[in-house]
Amino acid sequence: MKNIAVLGNGRVGGTLAAALTRAGHQVTVADRTPGAAADAARAARIVINATPGAGSLERLAALRAELRGKILVDVSNATLDGPDGLPADLLYPGSSLAEKLQEALPETRVVKTLNTMLFPVMTAPATLTQPPTAFLSGEDAEAKHTARELLTGLGWRQEWITDLGGIQTARATEAAILFVPHVIRSSGLTPFAISVAR
Going by C-beta distance under 8 Å and a sequence separation of 6 or more, which residues neighbour residue 186?
Answer: none
- 149-177-56 Cα angle (round to 5): 70
* CA distance readout (Å), 35 to 66, 142, 186: 11, 29, 41
Under 8 Å between Cβ of 49 and 8 = yes
Q: Which amino acid is at 184?
A: I
pLDDT of residue 198 exceeding 90, the answer is: no
Nearest one of 60, 42, 132 to 99, comparing CA atoms: 60
d(CA 108, CA 1): 21
- The four Cα atoms 188, 190, 193, 196 give a dihedral, to 10 degrees, of -90
Under 8 Å between Cβ of 132 and 195 = yes
Q: What is the pLDDT of residue 1?
A: 81
pLDDT per residue as tens digits for the range 76-115: 999 999 999 899 999 999 999 999 999 999 999 999 999 9
pLDDT per residue as tens digits for the range 30-78: 988 889 999 999 999 999 999 999 999 999 999 999 999 999 999 999 9
Helix (H) or strand (E) holding 153: helix 141-153
Q: Which amino acid is at 174?
A: E
d(CA 116, CA 114): 6
Phi and psi, residue 34, nearest 5°: -55, 130
d(CA 178, CA 171): 12
